[in-house]
């Protein structure tokens, strides 16, 4: 999740930028950079990895006197996390930072390249600065050149541009990605969220989509498609912790709501018109591979289980899933036609890392699906696919699970393409459904309010069973894990068809059953299983697009056409249910007792 800061004024700029970027660290990044113009001279520093690396590089530099400055933390999307791809991006005499995605960048880039412009990076962002300079070289008018540049951009952006051609101005534009302007006397600040400017600015204006302009001499000129615009500043909040949570009560809650957005990042550049593309995978990764083994722990294990259904059903490749801590000691028989996949949010889980090392020693090809670049698991693997969920702060994993599952779905289609085990019709159907996922992850006020009200009936009893079949069995496991992690209530995930082989003995009105009843997958089968429980007086909370008259409580979902859309929609319901129960019980949702975010011990 990229971050932006900017400052124009007399104060020392390096520290303002670095402190601001530090406040955005929690969003996740893999490189950072700053650019400052003072006395018409440009200074620029970039570094890969932690912000401390950038601090070390800028150690002997301090700005003095009036100047303009911009800074950025980058979470790689187009192009690898290298220094060249880090922002600010430069032209001949200007610098730009940008969050979002310029959808028509390839077209603009090709046009500029034909005119002789040399690109240094693989990013979409660099197009902005070259387009600006092309316009400026023709007009010698910086504001006109910037507005013309913005007119050409399609997609989402929040961007800041500084140029030696007009060294006392910062140009800005916002469309689809957040950006705000902070004010304190003649000092003007920019940032992609309020935390970097809390304590520095006293007032703020949150830019709206389609707004752009410039700041100079302590004044901000704002425009949109209708021309110049007036705006009203508001008082800036002072509580940083609250601001980091963007107004949500807990990080976990914020992360649940973020899922719709981060899913776009996960799919960006990978879900193409008629195929899946992973630029990070070598063409020969699947050569001589006729089997897949996935190893993971906890929530990541649940995404692995979901992936195994998809890989076998759609890609027609045998796939076994193992809990990493079990795998290590079972003396597994490993064949070199097996692709060994590890899944980990943190990339540091000791059990998963050790399992990977075992597979490497046995000479297997390895692929990791991970949220943290350069983590131990990523470094130890032959190849890696990053989930791009952004930093996950809540100990109970939500958006990491969603993005892992999405990567596995994409990987399934990728394997099927390479192995030619999918028809063009089915591939198209899957890709169409995939593009709808962000919508299926939207949390509506109506849903959240309903779950909040209903949660008060589930604070006692002698336990929960989350039940589902097929893909919805791993989701049942994950729903139960979420609930027990943050509510400390006993919850189990179970295949619904298995209840009659024992657990149904527990059924009474104090046994709460959360039934995942998708319409697009074995509806009638699971319905009978739930009826059996209802007949024994179990309390049923049914989640389904189909009304179910035996339910004591019912959450009606929308997507009944594709199992994965139903999966993601029901996943959100189970996450919010757990959240609301935990809040009612007065627990610390983000830091549940006895748990750590990253389990680096055996």
Q: 296 pairs with which residues across the strands?
A: 323
3-state class (DSSP) for residue 28: coil
In angstroms, the CA 56 to CA 405 distance is 38
Phi, psi of 397 (to 5 degrees): -75, 135
Minimum CB distance to ligand AGP, residue 477 (Å): 11
> Which residue in the list 11, 200, 316, 597 is annotated as catalytic?
597
Q: Are 164 and 93 in contact (CB under 8 A)?
A: yes
Cβ-based neighbour number of residue 364 at 10 Å = 21
Per-residue x/- track, 308-347, ligand AGP (CB under 6 A): ------------------------------------xxx-
Torsion region of 500: left, alpha or beta (phi above 0 gives left; psi -120 to 50 gives alpha):
alpha
> Which residue in the list 2, 295, 297, 319 is annotated as catalytic?
2
In angstroms, the CA 435 to CA 431 distance is 6
Closest CB to ligand AGP among 481 and 538?
481
For residue 271, give the DSSP letter: B
457 Cβ contact list (under 8 Å, min separation 6): 553
Q: 370 pairs with which residues across the strands?
A: 344, 386
Per CB under 6 A, 69 contacts ligand AGP: no
Q: Tell me which of 135, 308, 352, 455 binds ligand AGP, using CB under 6 A.
A: 352
For ligand AGP, which residue has the nearest CB?
298
Closest CB to ligand AGP among 27 and 482?
482
Cβ-based neighbour number of residue 25 at 10 Å = 15
Per CB under 6 A, 349 contacts ligand AGP: yes
Closest CB to ligand AGP among 347 and 468?
347
CA angle 12, 18, 22 (to 5 degrees): 145
Closest CB to ligand AGP among 23 and 30?
30
Q: 37 pairs with which residues across the strands?
A: 42, 68
Distance of CA 263 to the CA centre of its chain: 6
Closest CB to ligand AGP among 192 and 387?
387
Minimum CB distance to ligand AGP, residue 386 (Å): 13
Minimum CB distance to ligand AGP, residue 375 (Å): 9
Q: Are 389 and 290 in contact (CB under 8 A)?
A: no
Buried b (16+ CB within 10 A) or exposed e, 94-107: bbbbbbbbbeebee
Applying the rule CB under 6 A, the residues between 577 and 596 that interact with ligand AGP are 595
Is 2 known to be catalytic? yes
3-state class (DSSP) for residue 173: strand
Is 174 known to be catalytic? no
Per-residue x/- track, 274-313, ligand AGP (CB under 6 A): -----------------------xxxx-------------
- How many Cα neighbours within 13 Å face the side chain of 214? 19
CB-based burial label for 382 (10 Å; 0-12, 13-18, 19+): middle
In angstroms, the CA 369 to CA 366 distance is 10
Q: Tell me which of 1, 396, 407, 571 binds ligand AGP, using CB under 6 A.
A: 396
Instruction: Put the strands of the sheet holding 512-516 in their side by side order.
Output: 491-495, 464-468, 512-516, 539-544, 553-556
Closest CB to ligand AGP among 22 and 300?
300
Closest CB to ligand AGP among 71 and 298?
298
Query: How large is the C-alpha radius of gyration of the chain?
Result: 26
Distance of CA 314 to the CA centre of its chain: 25
Strands 553-556, 539-544: pairing kind: parallel
Q: Are 301 and 326 in contact (CB under 8 A)?
A: no
Per CB under 6 A, 598 contacts ligand AGP: yes
Minimum CB distance to ligand AGP, residue 123 (Å): 28
Per CB under 6 A, 468 contacts ligand AGP: no
Applying the rule CB under 6 A, the residues between 508 and 567 that interact with ligand AGP are none
Minimum CB distance to ligand AGP, residue 306 (Å): 14
Closest CB to ligand AGP among 169 and 299?
299
Longest dimension (CA), the chain: 81
Q: Tell me which of 8, 18, 220, 395 binds ligand AGP, using CB under 6 A.
A: 395
In angstroms, the CA 328 to CA 356 distance is 9
Stretch that binds ligand AGP, among 30-38, 80-88, 233-241, 391-399 (CB under 6 A): 391-399
Crossing angle for the helix pair 399-419 and 563-584, to the nearest 10 degrees: 160
Tell me the number of residues near ligand AGP by CB under 6 A: 16
318 Cβ contact list (under 8 Å, min separation 6): 290, 291, 292, 312
Minimum CB distance to ligand AGP, residue 346 (Å): 3
Closest CB to ligand AGP among 314 and 400?
400
Minimum CB distance to ligand AGP, residue 580 (Å): 17
Minimum CB distance to ligand AGP, residue 305 (Å): 13
Closest CB to ligand AGP among 112 and 581?
581
Per-residue x/- track, 475-504, ligand AGP (CB under 6 A): ----------x-------------------
Closest CB to ligand AGP among 22 and 299?
299
Q: Which residues of the chain form contacts with ligand AGP (CB under 6 A)?
A: 297-300, 344-346, 349, 352, 395-397, 485, 595, 598-599
Question: Hey, which residues are catalytic here?
Answer: 2, 597
């Amino acid at each position: 999740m990229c971050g932006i800061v900017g400052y124009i004024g007399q104060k020392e700029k390096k520290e303002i930028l670095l402190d601001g970027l530090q406040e955005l660290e929690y969003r996740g990044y893999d490189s950072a950079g700053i650019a400052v113009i003072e006395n018409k001279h440009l200074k620029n520093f970039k570094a890969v990895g932690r912000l401390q690396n950038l601090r070390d590089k800028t150690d002997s530099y301090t700005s003095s006197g009036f100047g303009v400055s911009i800074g950025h933390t980058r979470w790689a999307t187009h192009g690898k996390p290298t220094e060249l791809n880090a922002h600010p991006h430069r032209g001949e005499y200007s610098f730009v930072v940008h969050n979002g995605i310029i959808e028509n960048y390839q077209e603009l880039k090709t046009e500029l390249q034909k005119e002789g412009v040399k690109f240094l990076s693989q990013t979409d962002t660099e197009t902005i600065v070259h387009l600006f300079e092309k316009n400026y070289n023709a007009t010698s008018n910086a504001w006109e050149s910037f507005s013309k540049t913005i007119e050409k951009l399609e997609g989402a952006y929040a961007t800041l541009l500084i140029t030696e051609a007009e060294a006392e101005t910062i140009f800005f534009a916002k469309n689809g990605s957040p950006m705000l302007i902070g004010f304190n006397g003649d000092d003007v600040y920019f940032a992609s969220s309020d935390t970097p400017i809390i304590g520095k600015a006293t007032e703020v204006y949150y830019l709206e989509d389609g707004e752009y302009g410039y700041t100079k001499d302590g004044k901000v000129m704002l425009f949109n498609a209708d021309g110049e615009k007036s705006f009203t500043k508001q008082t800036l909040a002072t509580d940083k912790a609250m601001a980091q949570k963007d107004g949500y009560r807990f990080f976990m809650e914020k992360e649940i709501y973020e899922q719709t957005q981060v899913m776009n990042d996960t799919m960006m550049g990978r879900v193409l018109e008629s195929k899946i593309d992973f630029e990070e995978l070598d063409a020969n990764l699947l050569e001589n591979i006729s089997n897949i083994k996935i190893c993971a722990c906890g929530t990541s294990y649940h995404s692995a289980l979901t992936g195994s259904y998809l890989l076998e059903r759609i890609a027609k490749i045998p796939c076994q899933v193992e809990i990493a801590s079990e795998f290590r000691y079972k003396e597994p028989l490993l064949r070199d036609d097996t692709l060994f996949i590890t899944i980990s949010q943190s990339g540091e889980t000791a059990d998963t890392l050790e399992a990977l090392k075992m597979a490497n020693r046995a000479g297997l090809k390895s692929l990791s699906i991970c949220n943290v670049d350069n983590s131990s698991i990523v470094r130890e693997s032959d190849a890696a696919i990053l989930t791009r969920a952004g930093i996950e702060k809540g100990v109970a994993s939500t958006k990491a699970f969603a993005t892992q599952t999405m990567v596995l779905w994409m990987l399934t289609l990728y394997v099927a393409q390479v192995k030619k085990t999918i028809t063009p019709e089915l591939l198209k159907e899957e890709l169409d459904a995939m593009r709808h996922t962000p919508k299926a992850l939207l949390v509506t006020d109506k849903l959240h309010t309903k779950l909040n009200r209903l949660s008060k009936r589930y604070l006692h009893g002698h336990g929960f069973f989350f039940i589902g079949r097929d893909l919805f069995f791993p989701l049942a496991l994950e729903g139960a894990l979420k609930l027990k992690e943050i509510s400390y209530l006993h919850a189990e995930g179970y295949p619904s068809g298995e209840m009659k082989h024992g657990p149904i003995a527990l059924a009474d009105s104090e046994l709460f059953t959360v039934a995942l009843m998708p319409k697009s997958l074995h509806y009638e089968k699971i319905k009978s299983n739930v009826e059996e429980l209802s007949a024994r007086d179990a309390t049923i909370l049914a989640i389904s697009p189909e009304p179910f008259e035996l339910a004591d409580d019912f959450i009606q979902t929308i997507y009944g056409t594709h199992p994965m859309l139903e999966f993601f929609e029901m996943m959100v319901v189970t996450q919010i249910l757990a959240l609301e129960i935990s809040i009612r019980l007065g627990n610390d949702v983000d830091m549940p007792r006895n748990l750590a975010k990253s389990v680096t011990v055996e």
